[in-house]
Copies of this chain bind each other. A is one copy, B any other.
Amino acid sequence: MNVLVLGAGQLARMMSLAGAPLNISISAYDVNTDSLVHPLTQQNLGTGLANAIAAADIITAEFEHIPLAILEQCQKSGKFFPGETAIKAGGDRRLEKQLLDSANVGSAAYHIVNSEADFNQAISKLGLPLVFKSALAGYDGKGQWRLKQAEDTAALWQKISAFLAADPQQSIVAEQFIPFQREVSLIGVRRANGDIKVYPLTENHHVNGVLSVSLAVAGNEQLQQQACQMFTALANKLDYVGVLSIEFFDLNGKLLVNEIAPRVHNSGHWTQQGADICQFEQHLRAVCNLPLGSTALIRPSLMVNILGEDAVPESILTIPGLHLHWYGKSKRPGRKMGHINLSAPNNAELKARFTQLINLLPEAIFPELQQMVNRIS
């Protein structure tokens, strides 16, 4: 089975590693260079989307910010999962909000801002504080502004109007600020026949808007059910095929969707060691129309992102239950270079191993890990 992945980053790479044992071969299409590469070896496999589509049995994507012409071309092939509508909803906050509304899934109250009148209406309708998010191409906290107090309104409008003027395709979604206690995410998978499986909720900690740690331990059953219901509503609404990821705000036990990602997700990397079948294999199974595997937590696990560094102390490899995953990328400040998965037979042992890990990692490069230790009960 040949699967073409739009995007040639670490998610395609990890799909390739997960697919090989199933005799599923991955080729990755770099939308910027119009070239096809093997995601593991970077071997050039040709150029041109039309050729790539013709050679593929199945097409999928590792990111959602894909030019519309490419999405349309893939959609026409009839081989594209989760398909154009889902990818677009993940890449455009306006469509995402429409989808959430139509599936009756709760998220922050919002208002679309394309003009100064819209901007003022957002403030009067939703009140302060507000978060303004770019509709397109925003990720890892980029393209976001907060408005906490009325006196900053004029200055912020200057920024936002400049931003909108720079790109006629852009738009802003103003959202009521949610005073959430924590951010959690749910990774789930749906097959064309309607089968759905979801992993346990993961608690996420961000530093400067970028995911730092994801923690997967046996959690609150009520919260898990809430998340699963919202997942099911969205996945069914989209007739979704593949892995779908949902980030939630946890507001005193009530979940509100922050955003969705129509793909495997950084907060699901722990599934490589903590779950029976990892998110990468589940996604491939779903898009290749194979039976889904178990999503059960097999042991409490967490993941730590490695950002901007191409080395970690070798000594961490001695920690039981630790797996190091490099992405084979060249070093660049802030770049996602790899991650560390850590698992243990129980929460107490996970806490002990995490503490051992924190003591071996340089704090300047891995900040704020300590506060996540206390989240393991």
Binding site for B on A (CB under 8 A): 13, 17, 20-23, 25, 38, 40-41, 43, 276-277, 285, 290-294, 296, 298-299, 314-315, 317-318, 320-326, 328, 338, 343, 345
Contacts and interface: CB of A to CB of B under 8 A. Distances in A.
Contacts of A322: 293
Contacts of A345: 298
11 contacts: A17-B21, A22-B326, A23-B328, A25-B41, A276-B320, A276-B343, A291-B315, A291-B317, A291-B318, A293-B320, A298-B299
A20 B21 CA distance: 14
A26 to B, nearest CB: 10
A323 B41 contact: no
B326 A314 contact: no
A317 B326 CA distance: 28
Contacts of A343: 276, 298
A22 B294 CA distance: 26
Contacts of A299: 298
A317 B285 contact: yes
Contacts of A328: 20, 23
Closest 10 CB pairs of A and B: A294-B320, A23-B326, A21-B325, A291-B317, A291-B318, A276-B321, A43-B43, A23-B328, A17-B17, A17-B20
A277 B322 CA distance: 8
